[in-house]
Amino acid sequence: MTVPTIGKLSPAQVKEYTTQFTYGTWRRQKGWSPLQVVAAEGCFFTDVSGKKYLDFSAQLMCVNLGHKNRAVIEAIQQQAEKLAFIGPGYATEVRAELAQLLTEVLPRGLAKYFFTTSGTEANEAAFKIARMYTGKTKIISRYRSYHGSTMGSIAATGDPRRWAMEPSGKIPGVIFAPEVNCYKCPIGHTYPGCGIACAEYVEHMIANESDVAAVIVEPVVGTNGVLVPPKEYMPRLRQICDAHGVLLIADEVMTGWCRTGKWFAMDHWNVAPDILTTAKGITNAAIPLGLCATTEKIAAYFDDHFFSHGHTYEAHPITLAPGIAAIQEMKRLKLAERATEMGAYLGDKLRGLMPRHRSIGEVRGLGLFWGVELVKNQKKKNPFNTGEDKIAGKPLMVDRVAAKMMAAGVFIQAWMSHFVIAPPLIITKEEIDRGVTALDEALGLADAEVEA
């Protein structure tokens, strides 16, 4: 086969070579037919035919500033000209400037930073740091969680994406606690009045396990359903960790950078973690950058102990520059406040769909981070599909609904039995109305198949 010169491919060739030579992630490869995207700006992206789509989930919940933010783009361009790369053992102005800005926006006490190129790498660093610092090995994670795709991070992931790596590929020492899910409590309690049983069970696990180094949580669970904890949960979890000498790791890869109406979701409960990991919105997803931030107490340990971690692209200058620009833009645009205001509007619109659609089990969210749960039986809260269906490649109801929305020019992120609605934080009310209208019309597919 003769491959045409780069930049001279036809749309058919782009799709052919994409599917022939590259993998589609988290899916069976047969039948993959990806849409070719040629441009994106603001809250929209454009396909090769010129059709525009409202990005109702900011791609993978990461384009917080909207596509093609000029300040971020120019920061990348300028840094490439100034200093494209130098190894992580050197000091650079861009590294120092970003570090200084982080001290202004991160939860209190997080004062030492390790830069990565993804959220999963940030979590890998967090696990290693926790184990080195505590001298312990076990990590407690939760079901219905996602922490990344590399070996340590996927081992700590509580959804079906972990299954393919077990048992031989699973790193030892990860155990799972119940997720926070007040809609369908995994341990059969009803909130309020449950005494935050899911948090108390974490203490039960710590007390009955030896060698627990850390507990890792998504403050608001992301891909697995936008599960918002009760207000008592995070303070209680902090108390439990402190009482047992266990570190608390907050995975804010999705919830950081103003997404929930605060700079970081942990700020909603005034709880500071020992380690915080983040990525995605830190550069508006324009360049891969992740962050593992620790307290001064943890940092001080490594003054006289070997810090056994690192990689070639740590503190890569071109990855850091857009981080500075993104933070400055979030401040300028007051995106935390905007996420609160527009999130309230979006939440009202989504809840307004419930009386009209028997397929909606629950609407839940915080800031501009919302989940819509689909069920085939509202009383039993049974989903249309399960994790087993996803892995088996069976058609999913949420995918059918999402496809109908795409046909109407609205992209939404679907996962097994729910939608994650997390648009760019610059979205307008008119754009929210357009997205919710498309969802309203597409939900007829699910309504038609609910149980009588």
Among the residues of 62-134, which ranges form H helices?
Answer: 70-82, 93-105, 119-134
pLDDT of 4 strictly over 90: no
141 with 183, same domain? yes
Q: Report the pLDDT value the prediction gives residue 164, as an integer from 0 to 100.
A: 86
Q: What is the DSSP letter of 143?
A: S
pLDDT of residue 6: 60
Residue that finishes a domain, picked among 299, 332, 365: 332
- The percent of the chain in helix, strand and coil, each rounded to the nearest 5, is 40, 15, 45
Mean pLDDT across the stretch 346-371? 98
Buried b (16+ CB within 10 A) or exposed e, 297-311: ebbeebeeeeeebee
Q: Among 138, 291, 280, 283, which Cα is nearest to 223's?
A: 280
Distance of alpha carbon 275 from alpha carbon 116, whole angstroms: 14
For 167-183, write each residue's pLDDT tens digit.
755 667 899 999 999 99
Q: Identify whether residues 259 and 158 lie together within a single domain.
A: yes
Whether 194 maps to a domain, the answer reads yes
- DSSP code per residue over 191-215: SSSS--HHHHHHHHHHHHSS-EEEE
Kindly state whether residues 321 and 263 are assigned to the same domain. Answer: yes
Q: What torsion do the CA atoms of 189, 191, 195, 198 make, to the nearest 10 degrees?
A: 60
Per the structure, how many domains does the chain have? 2
User: Taken in order 259, 254, 196, 361, is the CA torsion positive or negative?
Assistant: positive
The tokens describing 110, both together, are: 């997080």
**Helix and strand counts by DSSP (H, E) for the chain:** 15, 15
pTM score of the predicted model: 0.96
Q: How many CB atoms lie within 10 A of CB 279?
A: 28
Q: Is residue 158 domain-shared with residue 268, that is, in the same domain?
A: yes
The stretch 149-162 carries a mean pLDDT of: 93
For residue 452, what pLDDT band results from cuts at 50, 70 and 90? confident
How do residues 11-42 score in pLDDT, each as one tens digit? 999 999 999 999 999 999 999 999 999 999 99
Do 178 and 280 lie in a common domain? Answer: yes
pLDDT of residue 155: 93
Q: Residue 29 falls within a domain, yes or no?
A: no
Q: Is residue 19 part of a domain?
A: no
Look-up of token digits 């679907």: 414
At 169 the pLDDT is 56
328 and 352, same domain (yes or no): no
Asked if 400 and 257 touch (Cβ cutoff 8 Å), the reply is no
Q: Does residue 11 belong to any structural domain of this protein?
A: no
Angle at 383 between CA 377 and CA 387, to 5 degrees: 165
Tokens of 327: 């933070």
Contact 149, 161 (CB under 8 A): yes
Whether the pLDDT of residue 2 is over 70: the answer is no
Over range 56-81, report the average pLDDT. Answer: 98
Is 158 in the same domain as 168? yes
CB pairs under 8 A, 24+ apart, for 328-334?
328/71, 328/101, 329/65, 329/69, 329/71, 329/72, 329/284, 330/64, 330/65, 330/257, 330/258, 330/263, 333/65, 333/425, 333/426
Q: How far apart are CA 344 and CA 175, in angstroms?
A: 36
Would residue 21 count as lying in a domain?
no
pLDDT digits (tens, 9 = 90+) for 386-442: 999 999 989 999 999 999 999 999 999 999 999 999 999 999 999 999 999 999 999
Model confidence pLDDT, tens digit, residues 178-198: 999 999 999 989 999 899 999
Q: Choose the final residue of a domain: 332, 355, 389.
A: 332
Residue 148 has pLDDT above 80, yes or no: yes
HSE toward the beta carbon, residue 405, CA cutoff 13 A: 29
Judge whether residue 1 has pLDDT over 60: no
Q: Are residues 146 and 178 in the same domain?
A: yes
In the predicted structure, residue 271 carries a pLDDT above the cut 90: yes
Please tell me whether residues 340 and 328 are part of one structural domain: no
Shared-domain flag, residues 327 and 442? no
Computed over every residue of the chain, the mean pLDDT equals 96
pLDDT tens profile 307-345: 999 999 999 999 999 999 999 999 999 999 999 999 999
Q: Are 163 and 48 contained in the same domain? A: no
- Chosen domain end from 281, 313, 332: 332
For 70, other C-beta atoms within 10 Å of its C-beta total 10
- Predicted local distance difference test score (pLDDT) of residue 341: 98
pLDDT value at residue 154: 93
Q: Which residue has the tokens 């037919």?
A: 33
Q: Is 135 exposed, middle or buried (0-12, 13-18, 19+ CB in 10 A)?
A: exposed
Region 152-179 average pLDDT: 86
Residues 190-228 pLDDT 10s: 999 899 999 999 999 999 999 999 999 999 999 999 999
Which pLDDT does position 172 carry in this prediction?
A: 74
**Domain interval for residue 327:** 70-332
Is the pLDDT at 294 greater than 90, yes or no? yes
